[in-house]
Structure 1
Amino acid sequence: MNFSYYIARRYLFSPGSSNAINIITIIAASGVVIGAMALFLVLSGFAGLKDFSLQFSTYFDPNLKIFPSEGKTFTFTEGQRAKLAKLDGVAHFSEIVEERVFLDFRNKQKTSYIKGVDANYHNVIQTDSILVYGDWLNNNDFQVVAGNGICRELSMGVEQTYTNLLNIYVPKPGKGIPNDPSKAFRTEKAVNIGIYSVNEELDKKYIFATIGLARKLLNLSLDKVTHIELKLSPQANEEELIKNLQSLFDHTIIIKNRAQLNDTLYKMLNTENLVSYLIITLIAIIALFNVAGAIIMMIIDKKSNVKTLYNVGSSLPDIRKIFLFQGSLMTVLGALLGLFLGFVVIVMQQQFGLLMITPSLTYPTKITAMSFIVVFFTITIIGFVASLLASSRINQKLVQ
């Protein structure tokens, strides 16, 4: 066994000659444990919060979404439909026509977006997961499904008859101000047959309609779409599929995956995670430098032993290694104990809901291997640096 390591282990688990030294060592070790546990709890909490925030995008956003590179619409021919259906990796696709509209229901108005979808949309997006009341669209071009927020603002429910109709307006293209404002808009009437809910923002943004109603409202031909949404098969190669899609549409499109569709949300969550990690790491640095203080106090306490070791032939580097190993061992053991305690707390949170966001919603957490790795290496590296600084105080003057 390595001589320096053997002595370091003996020093670590043997009480010092002074109660003050023992108390300082316990405080330093506790700081390591608490720092590791706190950092693990923060990382697990943000991992859970990230998954919780992004789960809504899995309900509403497709695996891939195709946009026109210029303008609002692009042409999607029958030949392209047939080729797209045969592409490897494409499980389902849906044609979309989307535009900003003005809604009027029983003298209450709101601006929103109409999202015209075809009959295959439910294969791309799990409409059953977002529909909270009523029915989803069928082939009737005079039906819509509105968001929960839109229904609240317009005081609109699920209508069983065609007596209370929703008026949908969209401006006609052109220049100048028309003499007759009533001719400045195209309008269609529809009945709301369902209510969906994803999150507060989306619930206020969209009404779903058939693609036929949307095309009629916007006066678009049958081969015009604003987007195409795709659901990929499990074995799909996304990069290869994107290349094939670009070739199919002669590079006149822009393709975004789910992460790119939620780019702002991903950046916000990653930034919050990084800032929280840095703050807790700063606190851990302050706590872990108690290890340096404890090592220095241990050097003073063991000064006579150090002189003896030097006189019997130990070199200064070997003596420095004793206290470097002692501090490193304290850090590693403290990090492991802190990780274990943090793991227990997270499991208890998942099982018993120790911290609640609402009376019915527990704070989301997620245990990942990366959290263990990041915490262990962060704590051990800081502890190693602190121990190295402390052990470097041993010099020729001390051993003489």
Structure 2
Amino acid sequence: MSFSTYIAKRYLRSKSSNNAINFITYIAIVGIVLGSASLFVVLSGFAGLREFTLQYTTIIDPDLKAETTLGKSFILEPNSEAKLRTIAGIASYSKIVEERVIGSFDGKKQPLFIKGVDSNYTRVNKVDSILWQGSWLTNKTSQVVVGYGVSNSLNIGLLDYGKRITLLVPKPGKGQITSLEQAFNKVETVNVGVFTVNEKLDDNYIFSAIEVAQELLSFKDNQITNIEFKLKEGANEDEVKAQIRAVLGDNITLKNTQQLNDALNKMLNTENLMVYLLLTLVSIILIFNVIGSLIMMILDKKRTLTTLYSIGATLKDIRRIFFIQGAAMTIIGSLLGLFIGYLISLNQIYGPEFLKVYITPNLPYPLAIKFENMLLVFVTITILGIIASKIASARITKDMVKTG
């Protein structure tokens, strides 16, 4: 153990004869503890909120989604489909036809998105987890499953065969239009279920068999807008992407679940960063207590420092004493704060109901304990404490230790 470390350890353990200095030191340590604890709890809160938000947003998102970069649709040739089945990393895939349409029911109209899916869709996505009422649609029928918001806005019931949902889309082509029939393609459908995922999907989407969507859009049998893939557990995503591109060509773009929710991820990351910076600023203010505490200790130990200097300690050694003392205070305070923050987070996740913080009467605020957040808080607080200790120890001059 070096001379500076030994003396710093003694100073850290011993109390000052001046109670005011002891009080200032306690305040500095408490500030570090509170700063690190609050920073960790808030970051855990944002991590939990992120997971909570994404679990509802990504519940029907595939592992990979293939879309064309030229136009809105593409032709999936039979030989290409056969090659897709041979890719080892793909567990299943579903052909999709997705487009904006107009929905009409009992005199009410609303713009919607139709998502025509084939029989494999239930193997790619867990549709049972999103069904609120009714059942999933049967393949090659005129059945549809509507979002909860669509059901409310158009007042659509279940299995009401006397009232059909009419789906319309403008016909492609040129020439003068003399009637409504000439302007729109139209199909009649019946609702068999209501799904709920999130507000965006609930208010705007309906599911149908792929044949219904193809008929409505005047597509060919092998014409689709995208393909959704479910990968096998442990499959290498990059390798599977390369194999899919080799089959479908360069005019296809592939997105994974995170990329499909890129805007939401960016928003959550930005919010997380802003809160982190704000709490770091608060921590900087609290860390200034360390500077004040060390300066008060330096003044209190002025005669002792003169003695140390007289017996051979250099100015660098003396400065290092208080630098080590401040750094030790910061590290101990940040570790204690992380422990307290960890206990608070554990209580919110696993604790008794009456001790939790709730968003709604029945929904506790979601928290997620992440090791990277622990590391981030520890590094942030420690770096701030080291900077503060360096600033305070630099206040010691040769004249100060000489004159005593």
Deviations 1:358-381 (A, max 9, x none): 111111100011011101110011
Deviations 1:152-177 (A, max 9, x none): 10111212x41121111111012466
Structure 2 equivalent of residue 7 of structure 1: 7
Structure 2 equivalent of residue 318 of structure 1: 317
Does residue 26 of structure 1 match 2:34? no
Structure 1 stretch displaced more, 317-326 or 135-144: 135-144
The separation in 1 between residues aligned to 2:230 and 2:139, in whole angstroms, is: 22
Structure 1 stretch displaced more, 353-362 or 95-104: 353-362
Structure 1 equivalent of residue 262 of structure 2: 263
Does residue 273 of structure 1 match 2:267? no
Q: How does 1:198-209 map to 2 (within 5 A)?
A: 198-209=197-208
Structure 1 equivalent of residue 61 of structure 2: 61
Structure 1 stretch displaced more, 55-64 or 303-312: 55-64
Residues 70 and 313 (structure 1), Cα distance of their counterparts in 2 relative to 1, 3 Å cut: same
Q: CA deviation at 1:234?
A: 1.2
Q: How does 1:307-386 map to 2 (within 5 A)?
A: 307-351=306-350, 352=352, 354-386=356-388
Misfit runs of 4+, over 3 Å: none
Q: CA deviation at 1:140?
A: 4.4
Q: CA deviation at 1:93?
A: 0.1
Instruction: Give the TM-score normalised by the residue count of structure 2.
Output: 0.97
Instruction: Give the TM-score normalised by the residue count of structure 1.
Output: 0.98
The separation in 2 between residues aligned to 1:252 and 1:393, in whole angstroms, is: 65
Structure 1 stretch displaced more, 15-24 or 50-59: 50-59
Structure 1 equivalent of residue 107 of structure 2: 107
Structure 1 equivalent of residue 81 of structure 2: 81
Deviations 1:55-88 (A, max 9, x none): 1233111010010111111010111111101102
The separation in 1 between residues aligned to 2:237 and 2:343, in whole angstroms, is: 38
Contact 2:140 2:210 in 1 (8 A): no
The separation in 2 between residues aligned to 1:175 and 1:8, in whole angstroms, is: 87
The separation in 2 between residues aligned to 1:57 and 1:237, in whole angstroms, is: 24
Structure 2 equivalent of residue 392 of structure 1: 394
Structure 1 stretch displaced more, 351-360 or 21-30: 351-360
Q: Identical aligned pairs, as a percentage?
A: 48
**Secondary structure, counterpart of 1:59 in structure 2:** coil
The separation in 2 between residues aligned to 1:250 and 1:124, in whole angstroms, is: 22
Residues 70 and 29 (structure 1), Cα distance of their counterparts in 2 relative to 1, 3 Å cut: same
The residue identity in structure 2 corresponding to 1:373 is L
The separation in 2 between residues aligned to 1:149 and 1:85, in whole angstroms, is: 36
**Secondary structure, counterpart of 1:15 in structure 2:** coil
Structure 2 equivalent of residue 242 of structure 1: 241
Q: CA deviation at 1:105?
A: 0.7
Contact 2:57 2:198 in 1 (8 A): no
The separation in 1 between residues aligned to 2:276 and 2:198, in whole angstroms, is: 28
**Secondary structure, counterpart of 1:70 in structure 2:** coil
Q: CA deviation at 1:301?
A: 0.5
Structure 2 equivalent of residue 123 of structure 1: 123
Q: CA deviation at 1:51?
A: 0.7
The residue identity in structure 2 corresponding to 1:15 is K
Deviations 1:116-161 (A, max 9, x none): 00000000010011111100011242100000010010111212x4
Does residue 35 of structure 1 match 2:35? yes
Q: CA RMSD in A?
A: 1.1
**Secondary structure, counterpart of 1:179 in structure 2:** coil
Q: CA deviation at 1:252?
A: 2.0
The residue identity in structure 2 corresponding to 1:281 is T
Q: How does 1:289-308 map to 2 (within 5 A)?
A: 289-308=288-307
Unmatched runs of 5 consecutive residues or more in structure 2:
none
Residues 177 and 323 (structure 1), Cα distance of their counterparts in 2 relative to 1, 3 Å cut: farther
Structure 1 stretch displaced more, 174-183 or 216-225: 174-183
Residues 177 and 284 (structure 1), Cα distance of their counterparts in 2 relative to 1, 3 Å cut: farther
Q: How does 1:63-212 map to 2 (within 5 A)?
A: 63-159=63-159, 161-175=160-174, 178-212=177-211
Contact 1:91 1:233 in 2 (8 A): yes
Q: CA deviation at 1:244?
A: 1.4
The separation in 1 between residues aligned to 2:231 and 2:381, in whole angstroms, is: 41
The residue identity in structure 2 corresponding to 1:102 is I
